[in-house]
Structure 1
Amino acid sequence: MFRIRKEFHFSASHRLEHLPPDHQCARLHGHNYVVVVELSAETLNTDGFVRDYHDLADLKTYIDGQFDHRHLNDVLEVPSTAEHMARHFFDWCRARWPETSAVLVSETPKTWAEYRP
């Protein structure tokens, strides 16, 4: 299996309003997010790629327009946990690139959430 990954960055605020008021994540705060999209294929295309990295520029456009410097509670219909965001970005990517095999989202350098069906 061949796998490629590309990393994207954005900054945003959010609150996890479903948590108890004394939980630190229930308060307004922000993160410098990292989103990694992974694409997989058993064979390469005629150019020798799983997919041309240039094709993934649409994800940067989407992230920049809808997520960067936004309040995620106003953007997402589900709680803005890294897990929900990984699923959201996976679904968005898979609809465009059937080779999408996983999406990872990081809120801090030491924490990662992954969605991989």
Structure 2
Amino acid sequence: MYGLKTESCFDSAHFLSDYYGKCENLHGHRWKVVAYLRQPSLRTQGTMRDMVVDFGEFKKAVRELTEAFDHTFLVEEGTLSDATIEALRGEGFAPTIVPFRTTAENLARHFYDSLAAKGFPVSQIDCYETPLNCASYFGEGE
């Protein structure tokens, strides 16, 4: 089995609705995403012969995904009113509306699914919300 790993970071704010604790309040993180690829054999033809994939393509894909969330306010769809979202935008803030609760677990799955949709043989995503705490997603059947 062969594997590759790359990392990328982004800074964003979020809050957890229907949560009773510190994370119900708006706060920020320096998120770190660690992406792992895995496949049983190396490619046998073309410019990626004897590779899992080109590291440049892998790094670029991961960084594009994290860049989309960098310095934004991650908001679960339906947790803030449309008027609040428009007021934030009117003040120059950058809310990013996502269709899931903004937990590290769901972010890990989002990055996994996004890389898989681009054709990468992704096996695992680790999403750190602090230097010592991360959530992992391994995909269906792992």
Relative to the length of structure 1, the TM-score reads 0.91
The structure, 1 or 2, with the larger RCO (C-alpha pairs under 8 Å, 6+ apart) is 1
Q: Equivalents in 2 of 1:25, 1:42: separation in Å? A: 41
What's the CA shift string for 1:10-47, capped at 9, x where partnerless? Answer: 00000001202xx1000110000000111001101243
Which has the higher Rg, Structure 1 or Structure 2?
A: 2
Structure 1 runs of 4+ aligned residues shifted over 3 Å read none
How many residues are paired up? 114
CA contact (8 A) 2:61 2:115 kept: no
Alignment match of 1:99 (pick from 101, 110, 121): 121
Alpha-carbon distance between aligned partners in 2 of 1:6 and 1:39, rounded to the nearest angstrom: 9
The more displaced of 42-51 and 29-38 is 42-51
| Aligned with residue 23 of structure 2, among 9, 22, 25 | 25
Which piece of structure 1 moves more, 33-42 or 51-60? 51-60
Q: Which stretches in structure 2 are left out of the alignment for 5+ residues? A: 76-95
Moved more, 67-76 or 55-64: 55-64
Give TM-score scaled by structure 2 length: 0.76
Identity over aligned pairs, percent? 32
* Alpha-carbon offset, residue 62 of structure 1: 2.8
The within-5 A match list for 1:7-46 is: 7-20=7-20, 23-46=21-44
Distance in 2, matches of 1:37 and 1:62, equals 11
CA distance in 1 between partners of 2:97 and 2:5 (Å): 25
Q: Which residue of 1 aligns with 2:64?
A: 61
In angstroms, what is the RMSD of aligned CA positions? 1.2
Structure 1's unaligned 5+ residue stretches are none
